[in-house]
Amino acid sequence: MALRWSDVDVEAGIVTVRHGKGDKERVAAILDSTDGTKLALERLQESQLGQYRYIFASTTRGRRTKWLADVPTSDEVVALVVEKTAATAGLGKLASHDLRRLLQGHPPKKLVLMTATPVNNSLWDLYNLLSYFVGHDAAFASQGIRSLRQRFKSATDQDPYDLRLDMLFDVLDETTVRRTRHFIKKYYPNEEIPGMGGQVIRFPEPKVKQVEYSLDAVLPGFFDDFAEALAPDEGDPKLTLARYWPSRYRHEPDPETNQREAALVGLLRSGLLKRFESSVNAFARTAKRMADSHEQFLAAMDRGVVPNSKALGDWGEIDNDEALEELLAVAGSESIELYRDADLRRDIELDRDILRRLSEKAFQVERETDPKLEQLVEELAEIAAEAERPHKPDWQSPPGCLHSLLLPRSRVGRLTCT
């Protein structure tokens, strides 16, 4: 709940978790192909009028929620929100015991869908999840598990890196559904499909259909620039991403910080490629926003400091010099004297110009002239037409193109269908 706006780079698809598991900092990716997360965050930020650092800042209580203070929402408020949501849904006040009674009551539940990470801190997390619908400790005695609790205790007593598969496999096999293709082929090679007259489970072999489209007509020379910036055949990428990796320009680099920022840069390079795979326009917007953040970084350097990620995120929300000076004093920014100023400035300016140039070129592709969209529409029309034709069902060879993945590679994009 203490996530700050400066910790989130939606366009690049990056979230920096300052106090994760074990109170360690880590970087996570935002995986949302629909841009729903981005839109939700933008609406939330607009409602705060740029006056709050925390994404989930404290709010007032009442029928009309208002932002109250620039501090993280408390655990008590989160619990209250859950309670009110349950009341609105007609569920009343819920507790873990209520869920346990529901799952163990009548009629008996044959399937339970639970959304959770089964193991966060220890194997007891999984045991506690199972306890919601397992009737008693000897529920699996017929499978040779006399005591579920004792089985988990035996498992937790082992070194987690040397934990034998058979310690909990029989428990998981009786309680969970993990039926990937690889799993079924390995553990149920001759299993029959119920109600199919002894039909053994078989899997269809995907038939790949590749449809190529070219971007050269609308983006002449773009791929050459793009490859040189991110992944050239030889030498280092022109896009240094120094703004996200300033620690390597310190006179005395900190190994831990350098390693963390290097990982972030790797994610950013991958993120830029994924944005371009998503759409040309998505890449253009991301590149523009990144170029703007470079301007803010350079402005901070003009004041004699190298801002950390928090200060840089807050920088864009401030519109007067006094507030800027106060921010730089409290946000943990460092003196530029600790860095190789000229090298850092040179690379950031170079990156800014590259991002601006790529963004401006990409913005030239409009919806009406995007060859990827044109090709996709044609493929969807073909799929629709194929679905209307009478055909003999053959689950081994699904007709048509059931899944489309457009990946611009080199100068020619490929529409891959299986």
pLDDT for 350 equals 95
pLDDT band at 6 (very low <50, low <70, confident <90, very high): confident
Highest averaged pLDDT of the listed ranges 110-119, 250-259, 320-329, 388-397: 250-259
Find, among 351, 354, 366, 378, the residue nearest to 243 by Cα.
Answer: 351
Q: In 10 A of CB 287, how many CB atoms?
A: 27
Residue found under tokens 């073909």: 382
Closest C-alpha to 217, from 371, 407, 373: 371
pLDDT in tens, 63-86: 556 666 777 777 777 777 777 777
Specify the pLDDT at position 319.
40
Cβ burial, residue 237 (10 Å; 0-12/13-18/19+): middle
Q: Produce one character per residue of 165-188: b if its CB has 16 or more CB atoms within 10 Å, e if not.
A: eebbeebeeebeeeeeeeeeeeee
- The strand pair at 412-417 and 8-9 is best described as unpaired
pLDDT of residue 413: 46
Q: Using the 8-state DSSP alphabet, how is residue 240 labeled?
A: -
Q: Which of 242, 232, 252 is nearest to 343 (CA)?
A: 242
More confident residue, 59 or 237: 237
Question: Is the model's pLDDT at 253 over the cut of 90?
Answer: no
Do you find a cis peptide bond into 107, omega within 30 degrees of 0? yes
Query: Residue 227: which of 417, 410, 24 has the closest Cα?
Result: 410
- Which letter does DSSP use for residue 24 in this model? -
- Using an 8 Å Cβ cutoff, are 229 and 354 in contact? yes
Distance CA 22, CA 16 (A): 15
Confidence class for position 116, pLDDT limits 50, 70, 90: low
Query: By C-alpha distance, which of 93, 174, 167 is closest to 130?
Result: 174
- The answer to whether the CB of 3 falls within 8 A of the CB of 54 is yes
The reported pLDDT for the residue numbered 271 is 77
The two tokens of residue 120 are 């966060």
User: Whose CA is closest to 309, among 283, 337, 282, 331?
Assistant: 331
DSSP 211: E
pLDDT at 401: 39
34 sits in the region (left: phi over 0; alpha: psi -120 to 50; else beta) called alpha
Query: What is the pLDDT, as a whole number, of residue 397?
Result: 40
Question: Residue 176: is its pLDDT beyond 50?
Answer: yes
Least confident of 134-143, 348-357, 383-392: 383-392
**pLDDT of res. 359:** 93
The Cα-based distances of 402 to 92, 371, 386 in angstroms read 43, 20, 11
Q: In the prediction, which pLDDT does 400 show? A: 39
Instruction: Answer yes or no: are the C-beta atoms of 262 and 241 closer than 8 Å.
Output: no
Does residue 62 register a pLDDT over 60?
no
Report the pLDDT averaged over residues 390-401.
47
Q: Above 90 in pLDDT, residue 347?
A: yes
Helix, strand, coil share of the chain (percent; to 5) = 50, 10, 40
Tally of CA atoms within 13 A in the half-sphere of 108 that contains its CB = 3
In the predicted model, what is the mean pLDDT of the chain? 75
Q: What is the DSSP string of 35-96?
A: -HHHHHHHHHHHHTTT--SBTTEEE--SSS--EEEEEEPPHHHHHHHHHHHHHHTT--S--H
The larger pLDDT score, comparing residue 3 to residue 308, is at 3
Of 313, 332, 242, residue with least CA distance to 41: 313
Of the candidates 319, 330, 346, 362, the residue with the CA atom closest to the CA atom of residue 246: 346
Q: What is the model's pLDDT at position 353?
A: 95
